Amino acid sequence: MTDLVFARYDGTPLDPGTVQRTFRKVLEDAGIPRIRFHDLRHSHASHLLQAGVHPKIVQERLGHSSIAVTIDTYSHLVPSLQEMAAQRIETIIGEEAMEELRTIGVEKSVGIVPVVEQPQHVGKMLVKTGKLRLSRGGLEPPTG
């Protein structure tokens, strides 16, 4: 038994030309514009990253030697990931808390980390509003 992606019933490899012709026929029958078979790999990675899947998982799925290869290859998706991260943190701590952050000096968000002139006030405000709790490990979401 081999670990081939495309093999005959007896386990011997399919001719690459056969795979390519079959792929083109499937695309044509489905009314999909012609793309290279390898483009499926890039589409898969792009969709995963845009859906918020951690780049380390994408790296492992693609078999890249390091996460740096994945990030370098798909860096054009990072701006949308940054926006998604900013939206998620707003959902987590709530719009009311974000508004209060803005009043104490939040100028912008870098990823999910707010950039503030007086960062010591952020944690206190989030604990006060019940959005975070203080624990031995630092600030965490409230439990229960």
Task: Mark 97-122 as b/e (b = at least 16 C-beta within 10 Å).
Answer: bbebbeebebeebeeeebebeeeebb
pLDDT above 70 coverage of the chain, percent: 59
Of residues 46 and 94, more confidence is placed in 46
**Spatial distance between the Cα atoms of 86 and 114, rounded to a whole number of angstroms:** 9
Task: Mark 43-52 as b/e (b = at least 16 C-beta within 10 Å).
Answer: eebeebbeee
Q: Looking at residue 21, what is its pLDDT?
A: 92
**The pLDDT of residue 98 is above 70:** no
pTM of structure: 0.52
2-41: pLDDT as tens digits: 678 888 888 889 998 998 999 899 989 999 888 888 888 8
